[in-house]
Structure 1
Amino acid sequence: MRSLATLVVLLLLSVSLSGCLAEEDIEDEGRFIDDESELFDTENPDYCGDFDGDGKPDCPLSGYTPDTNPWWCNSTGVGGHHVDPAYEGMTKGVLEPELCETLTYEMKDAIEWASQWPTLGDAEDAGYTMSVNYVEGMGTHHVMLNGFSMEDPGFDAQEPEFQDTRIDDVFEHERPEFLMYGGEERESELVGFAWFVHAPSNSPPEGFTGDNDWWHRHDSLCFESTEFLVMGENLDQETCDDRGGVNVNLQEYWMVHAWIIRPWLTYDDVFTNHHPCLLEDGPEQDLEADCWGESTEHVAHEI
């Protein structure tokens, strides 16, 4: 009799528990998702999301959705104030979907390659040299010299060639010649890229897919030759000499920037020369500051 009573109690208890579990399952099944990011597969290479909530997709950092018109394929303006006569009468604009897709993956390649050196310290430990100190609107310019020196007897400042470096007549979209950092301290973060290619003075390099990458030139830069450090632009010989430098003729060397490292995205023109939040006294850290919404067309700088 006692065994029968025990069995009845166990049966009643199991029914009660199963009812609770069933109700809990139903409740979970109907639970609202508070964070809609749970619906997105951010690991999918074709995913493109608006991570900072500004209404614009944050690719190419997060991927790309074909047949869309992302901001980096829709440049406006003239690329800053270094506008070469080669672009006279031309305008930037929206790229066709096929061109946009190719450009997107060119930029993704550059981001992936440069991710090896997220800070200035990482770059210098790997052998990069600071060729341009931190400058308002641009940050630093770090280059891999691979032992090259202007002190080499064979170097000609009027017809320069940078032997053993990647500064040559070959454009490699995935390997920018310069990495740009937001300060001169080891912890300074990567903010942008610059490509530097040898080409005739009247004919910019082919460069990136599409026609929005407007290249510019620095006709003459004064370098501290032992350190490959820029001391000034378009200086007369006496002034450059006083600074301990040598004037190098760069009329046949072209440069273009791309701002594709978060949060240093320039939505109005990905190829603009300068970033308004790289301030004179250092990079703006407040992402709510006005400079993030400013046009990139008019930014002061020394070089």
Structure 2
Amino acid sequence: MFVRRSAILVFLLLTSVPFSGCLAEESIKEDNLFIDDESELIDPEGPDYCGDFDGDGEPDCPLSGYVPDTNPWWCNSTGSGGHHVDSAYTGMTKGELDPESCETLTYELKDAIEWATQWPTLGDAEDSGYTMAVGYTEGMGTHHVMLNGFSMDNPGFDPQEPEFPGTRIDDLFEHDRPEFLMYAGVERGSELVGFAWFVHSTDDLPPEGFTGSNDWWHRHNSLCFRTSEFLVVGEDLDEETCDGRGGVNVILGDYWMAHAWVIRPWLTYDDVFTNHHPCLHEGGSENDTAAECWGESTEHVGHDI
């Protein structure tokens, strides 16, 4: 009886193996029906994944998650770009870039990251000659610019038709060298959160800008500057109010600005080119990445400038 039972047990074990294998293979096949491309398994938000942009076999951080012929978040913007949407974009929508344009844009943003991260803190920037043109502002942080000795107090400066000789504020768009660096506060240790381009064009035509059509530029038609400091103290003020703040109204209707948010963790997944970040609160930056603002849409955050 014992021998007979043993034989039956061995038979069952042997015959169960192939059935088990078939079931496993069938399950895998069914699961794979939902995976059209293995790149879908990559988590582009994972802090430990970086794309190899130049093909040298080494990961190129920090713009991570890029795989050729895929659609990473920075190539698929939605919304209207936030506040200050210019009439030049009336009737237009943002959307997904084609693979070739996406790859080019990826390199453009990567170049900007590599250049701007030479100054990871406000102290680094100011030690290298950057000037704070805009103090900490909700949604934006600061705006620091390299003046190279330029001053609005120069006799030839015209606030009605301003030019900024010696600086990079001109009619040339350089994707790899944004005019402004943006920081999370006014202390020396404040971290780099983003950057902005500021380019002269005409009052009805934004600069050519980045590859694709998702970089919607905006304008600040009139900013009140304390000219000796190159510091903005208000926007669209009447002459009396600006003068009361010790400033001069500078007309900037021909100058266009665009932001990009590609510095970790200050990424704006729904629109890389929105002009504000929801975690740069009026009272200061939010450094807890578990806070609710990190999941908010960038459509609904305001700022004063």
Indicate the residue corresponding to 2:46 in structure 1: 51
Matching residue of 1:147: 149
Distance 2:43 2:291 in 1: 25
Aligned-partner residue type, residue 251 of structure 2:
N
SS at match of 2:262: coil
Q: Does 1:66 align with 2:68?
A: yes
User: Are the counterparts in 2 of residues 220 and 234 from structure 1 also a CA contact under 8 Å?
Assistant: yes
Deviations 1:245-266 (A, max 9, x none): 0000000000000000000000
Is 1:231 matched with 2:226? no
Q: Unaligned regions of 5+ residues in structure 2, if any?
A: 1-41, 49-59
2:83 and 2:302 in contact (8 A); partners too: no
Select 1:84's aligned residue among 86, 90, 99. 86
1:120-145 deviation digits (Å, cap 9, x = unpaired): 00000000000000001000000000
Amino acid at match of 1:300: G
Give the TM-score, by structure 1 length.
Answer: 0.81
Q: Is the 8 A contact 2:224 2:236 kept in 1?
A: yes
Change (3 A) 1:63 1:268: closer
Identity of aligned residues (%): 77
Give yes or no for contact 1:48–1:62 (8 Å, CA) kept in 2: no
Mapped to 1, the partners of 2:228 and 2:43 lie a distance apart of 45
Q: Which amino acid aligns with 2:89?
A: Y
Contact 2:45 2:65 in 1 (8 A): no
> Which residue does the alignment assign to 2:106?
104
Aligned to 2:188: 186
Note the 1:1-303 alignment, pairs <5 A. 49-52=44-47, 61-62=63-64, 64-303=66-305
Write the deviation string for residues 38-58 of structure 1: whole angstroms up to 9, x where unpaired.
xxxxxxxxx9854249xxxx9
- TM-score, scaled relative to structure 2: 0.81
Distance 1:100 1:223 in 2: 38
Q: For the Cα contact (< 8 Å) 2:80–2:93, is it kept in 1? A: yes
Q: What is the alpha-carbon distance in structure 1 between the residues aligned to residue 145 and residue 93 of structure 2?
A: 31
Corresponding pairs, count:
254
Alignment root-mean-square deviation, CA:
1.7
Counterpart CA distance in 1 for 2:119 and 2:184 is 13
Q: Distance in 2 between matches of 1:168 and 1:48?
A: 39
1:280 is displaced (CA, Å) by: 1.1
1:115 deviates by 1.3
Shift of 1:65: 1.2
How much does 1:298 deviate?
1.5
Secondary structure of the structure 2 residue equivalent to 1:117: coil
Query: Residue 298 and residue 59 in structure 1: after superposition, are their counterparts in 2 closer, same or farther (change >3 A)?
Result: farther
- Which amino acid in structure 1 is aligned with residue 232 of structure 2? V
User: Which amino acid in structure 1 is aligned with residue 141 of structure 2?
Assistant: G
Instruction: Indicate if the aligned counterparts of 1:48 and 1:64 stay in contact, CA closer than 8 A.
Output: no
**Post-superposition offset of 1:300:** 2.1
Indicate how the Cα distance of structure 1 residues 202 and 93 shifts in structure 2: closer, same or farther if over 3 A, else same: same
Contact kept, 8 Å, 2:160 with 2:251, in 1: the verdict is yes
1:117 & 1:61 partners in 2: Cα distance? 17
Q: In the aligned structure 2, how far is the partner of 1:257 from the partner of 1:152? A: 29
Cα distance in 2 for residues equivalent to 1:59 and 1:104: 12
CA contact (8 A) 1:222 1:231 kept: yes
Secondary structure at the aligned position of 2:84 is classed as coil
Contact 2:44–2:72 (Cα < 8 Å) also in 1: no
Q: Give the deviation of 1:63 after TM superposition.
A: 6.1
Mapped to 2, the partners of 1:75 and 1:100 lie a distance apart of: 11
Larger deviation, residues 58-67 vs 170-179: 58-67
Q: What letter corresponds to residue 51 of structure 1 in structure 2? A: G
Unaligned runs of 5+ in 1: 1-46
